[in-house]
Amino acid sequence: MLSVWNFLKRHKRKFLVAGALTGVVYLLGKYAQKKIKDIQERDAAEYIAQARRQYHFESNQRTCNMTVLSMLPALREALMQQLNSESLTSLLKNRPTNKLEIWEDLKIISFSRSIVGVYSTCMLVVLLRVQLNIIGGYIYLDNSSVGKNGSALHASPEVQQQYLSSIQHLLGDGLTELITVVKQAVQKVLGSLSLKHSLSIMELEQKIKEIRSQVEESRVAANLEEANSESLLCRYMMPDEENPLTAQACGLTEKDVTTIKLLNETRDMLESRDFSTVLNTCLSRGFGKFLDSIAEFFRPTEQELNQNGSVNSLSSISLPLAKIIPIVNGQIHSICSEMPSHFVQDLLLMEQVKDFAANVYEAFSTPQQLEK
C-alpha cells in the first residue's frame, strides 16, 4: 500500500497532466460533436429551404404558362377587332366594283395582323415571365423567415392584383400603337407589290425581315431622336414610368406607391440587355414558325416535280401574292391559339426563356441579390 502511495507521489505531475489532457480531449470532442450537429442542422435547413424555393419556382412557372394560354383568346380577339379582315373577305364575296381596292386593304391588314400576332404573343410570353417571377420572388420572401427580418417589399394581394393588371397595356394602348407601326412598315414594304406578283418562300422571308427591320429600328415611328430596339419594343409592353415620390405627393396610398415601385423594377428589367436578348430569340423562333406554317402551302405542281417526285429547290416554287394573302390571314388562329399549338408551346418551352425566368426569380427571392 505504501509503495502505491509513493508511486503516485512520484508521478503526481504526470497524472495531473494526463487528467487535464483527458478533460481537454473530452471537451473538444463534445465541442466538435456540437459543431458537426450545428452544421448538419444548418445544411438540412438550407436544403429544405432550397427545395421549398425550387418547388415554389416550378409552381410559379406552371402558373406563367397557364396565364399566357388564358390570355391568348383576349389577345386574338383584340387583334381581329382592330385588324378586321373578315369584313373585307365578306365584301369580296359580293363582287364589288372596287374589288382591287379591297384586295389591297386585305393585303395590308392580313400581313399586319399575323405579324403583330407574332410580336404580341412573344411579348406576352416574356413579359409575364418577368412579372410573375418578380412578384413570385417577393411572395417567397414574404412567406419565408428569410424575408421577415429584411427590408423586402410586402406584396399584398391588392398590390399583386394592381401590379399584374398592367399587362392590359399590351392588350390595349400598347397593342394599338404596335399595330399602327406594323401597318406603316407593311405598307412601305408590300404596298407597291402587285397582287399578281409571285413570291417564293425565300423571297417572302426577306420581305418579313424588311418589315421587322422597319418596326424594330425605326426612330421616326417612335418620334424619338435616339432609340434602340429594346426601348422601342418596351413601350408596347409598359406604360410610361411613374415616380413613386410624385405619386405619394398626389395622395396615393402606400399600396399604390408599392405597385409603382414594382412597375418601375419591371421596366428596368425590360430595358436590360438580357431581356432584349431573350425577346429577340423568341421573335426569331416565332417568325421562323410563322414562315414554316406558310411554307406548307408552297407545294409544287406536277410540272415542277422531277422524275423522282421531288422538287429541285424550295426557292423555285412561287405563288402570286393574291394566293399568299389568305394563307397569311389565317395564321392568326395558330399564332394566338390557347389550345396546344406548336407555335406557343415552342415559346413556352425555350431554354433561354426558362433560364431567364430562373435568373429573375433568383434576383427577387434572395435578399442579398435584392439589396444589390
In the block, cell 428589367 appears at 269
User: 179-211: per-residue pLDDT in tens?
Assistant: 999 999 999 999 999 999 999 999 999 999 999
Give the SS3 label for residue 305: strand
C-alpha to C-alpha distance for 295 and 82, rounded to whole angstroms: 27
pLDDT (mean) for 141-167: 74
- Under 8 Å between Cβ of 157 and 111: no
Helices (H), the chain: 2-10, 12-82, 86-93, 99-143, 145-148, 157-164, 168-171, 173-190, 201-217, 229-237, 244-249, 254-270, 273-295, 321-329, 332-335, 342-348, 351-365, 367-371
DSSP bridge pairs for 200: 318
Sign of the dihedral through C-alpha 301, 303, 307, 313 = negative
Angle between helices 229-237 and 99-143 (to 10 degrees): 80
pLDDT (mean) for 34-60: 65
What are the boundaries of each domain within the chain? 71-371
User: 82-129: per-residue pLDDT in tens?
Assistant: 999 999 999 988 888 889 999 999 999 999 999 999 999 999 999 999
Q: What percent of the chain has pLDDT over 70?
A: 71
User: 233-284: per-residue pLDDT in tens?
Assistant: 888 998 876 655 444 556 678 888 888 889 999 999 998 999 999 999 999 9
Nearest to 282 by CA among 97, 48, 49, 68: 68
- Under 8 Å between Cβ of 79 and 109: no
Q: What is the dihedral of CA 148, 153, 157, 158, to 10 degrees?
A: 140
Question: Can you list the pairs that 127-130 forms with residues at least 24 positions away whose Cβ atoms lie under 8 Å?
Answer: 127/167, 127/170, 127/237, 127/270, 128/64, 128/67, 128/68, 128/71, 128/167, 129/64, 129/353, 129/356, 129/357, 129/360, 130/266, 130/269, 130/270, 130/275, 130/360
pTM metric for this prediction: 0.81
C-alpha to C-alpha distance for 11 and 364, rounded to whole angstroms: 67
Give the SS3 label for residue 226: coil
pLDDT (mean) for 279-299: 93
Show the 3-state SS of 141-197.
HHHCHHHHCCCCCCCCHHHHHHHHHHHHHHHCHHHHHHHHHHHHHHHHHHCCCCCCC
Give the SS3 label for residue 318: strand
In the block, cell 502511495 appears at 5
